[in-house]
Amino acid sequence: MSALDGYRLEWLSSFLAVVDHGGFAAAAENVYRSQPSISSHVAELEHRLGAVLFDRKERPVRLTEAGVAFLVHARAVQAELEAGEAEVQAVLGLLRGRVRLACYPSAGAAFVPALLREFTTQYPAVEVSLLEGAPVDLGAALQAGDADLAIRPLLPVPRETSVAHDVLWVEPLVAVVAEDHPLSRFGSMDLARLSDERLITLGSGTQRSTEPTEIDHALRDAGLEARVVLRTNEPQTLVALARGGHGVGVTNLLAAAVSETRGTRVIPLHGTTHRREVGVFWDGARAMQPAVRELLDLTLGMPVPDAVQRYERRA
C-alpha cells in the first residue's frame, strides 16, 4: 500500500488556509467552508501524521515545530498540482492558471501596466496578481513562493542564492533640483559637481551598508557618501524635498519619471560608471508553470519604459 493512500487533498487545502489566514474561523470564511469542516480536516490530517500541527492555545493559532516541518511539503504538493493542471491545459491548447508578479514602485508605474495589458490580451484566462515592495524584499518573496516573477533592480544583490535573472534595461542616475537652484541651468552634469551640496537619495534611513544600491556605490566612489542628509523610500517624497530646497535629490531616471516633477529640473548625471540595471527575477529552484513562462517571455520582449527610450535617443 502506498504511503499516500488515505490522504485527502481537502486536508491539505484546509491546513494551508489556516496557515495563510491565521486561524480556523478566518480560513473558513476565505475558502467558503464551514469552520467545523476546516477543524475536522486539520484534525484528520494530524491523526494521519501522528502529530499536532497547530498550537490552538495561541491567538492567532501558531504552527508547532511539526507544523513548520510539514508546511514546506504541503506548499510543494499544492504547487505541483497547480503546475500539472497548467501543463494539461497547455497540451489542450489553453493557458490557464495564476501568476504572481512582484515589482518595486517605479517599475510598477512605468512598465507593468503595458506588460499586463498585453499579457491579458493574449491570455485572458490567466489570473495575474501583483505584489509591490522594496527591491530588497522581493527575492525573499520569490523563494517563499509568494511571487513567481519579480521585476527589481539588480542591486541590492538578492540574498537568496537560488534566484536567477535576465536584464531588462539600464538607466542613468539623475539629480533633481529646484527650478531656482543654481544647478538647474545644466542639461547634464558630472556627479562631482554635487560635492558642496546636501544630498537626498532613495533608501531606508536604517539601510545597512551591506545592502548598497547603485546610487550608494556612485556616491561612495565620488566621495559624496557623507553629503547624504536625507533618505526616503518614496520617489515622490524625494522630489518634494528637492523642490522645497532641502537638498539635491540623487536617484534613478525612472523614479523621477514616475513622479510629479513640476517646480524641479531632472538632470542626468555623468562622471560615474554606475547605472541602475533592472531585471526580471525568478527562483531557479522551483518548477516554472507554463503561464509563468509565458509572462517571463513576454516581459523579456517588451519595450523598455518611455523615459528610458527618450534618454537612449538623446544619448
pLDDT at 1 over 50: no
Amino acid, single-letter form, for residue 117 = R
What pairing do the DSSP bridges indicate for beta strands 54-55 and 264-270?
unpaired
**Measuring CA to CA, which residue among 171, 155, 184, 172 is closest to residue 248?**
184
Query: Does 303 sit behind a cis peptide bond, omega within 30 degrees of 0 on the bond before it?
Result: no
pLDDT at 243 over 80: yes
Residue 4 lies in a domain: no
Strands (E) located in 108-233: 126-132, 149-153, 163-171, 173-178, 189-190, 199-202, 228-232
Residue 3 lies in a domain: no
> Cβ(90)–Cβ(84) under 8 Å?
no
CA distances from 42 to 3, 23, 76 (A): 18, 12, 18
Residue 132 dihedral angles phi and psi, to the nearest 5°: -110, 135
Mean pLDDT, to the nearest integer, of 31-46?
91
Residue 242 lies in a domain: yes
Residues 267, 177 share a domain: yes
Q: What is the radius of gyration, based on Cα positions, of the chain?
A: 24
DSSP secondary-structure letter at 209?
A: T
**Measuring CA to CA, which residue among 170, 195, 208 is closest to residue 309?**
170
Q: Is 280 helix (H, G, I), strand (E, B) or coil?
A: strand
Residues 6+ apart with CB under 8 A from 241: 200, 230, 232, 247, 249
Residue 61 lies in a domain: yes
pLDDT at 50 over 90: yes
Q: How confident is the model at residue 31 (pLDDT cuts 50, 70, 90)?
A: confident
Residue entry with cell 491579458: 120
Residues 138, 17 share a domain: no
Distance CA 288, CA 149 (A): 10
CATH of the domain at 114: 3.40.190.10
Distance CA 41, CA 312 (A): 58
Q: How confident is the model at residue 60 (pLDDT cuts 50, 70, 90)?
A: confident
Distance CA 153, CA 170 (A): 9
Instruction: Write the pLDDT tens digit of every residue in 89-123.
Output: 666 655 667 899 999 989 999 999 999 999 999 98
> Cβ(264)–Cβ(238) under 8 Å?
no
pLDDT at 137 over 90: no
Residues 150, 17 share a domain: no
Residues 180, 269 share a domain: yes
Residue 287 lies in a domain: yes
Residue 66 lies in a domain: yes
Range of the structural domain that residue 154 is part of: 95-167+278-314
pLDDT value at residue 92: 60
Residues 113, 137 share a domain: yes
Residue 21 lies in a domain: yes
Distance CA 3, CA 271 (A): 64
Using CA atoms of 47, 52, 57, 59 in order, give the dihedral in degrees to the nearest 10. Answer: -100
Distance CA 216, CA 77 (A): 42
Considering its fold, how many domains does the chain have in total? 3
Residue 155 lies in a domain: yes
pTM for this predicted structure: 0.71
**Measuring CA to CA, which residue among 163, 160, 165, 193 is closest to residue 177?**
193
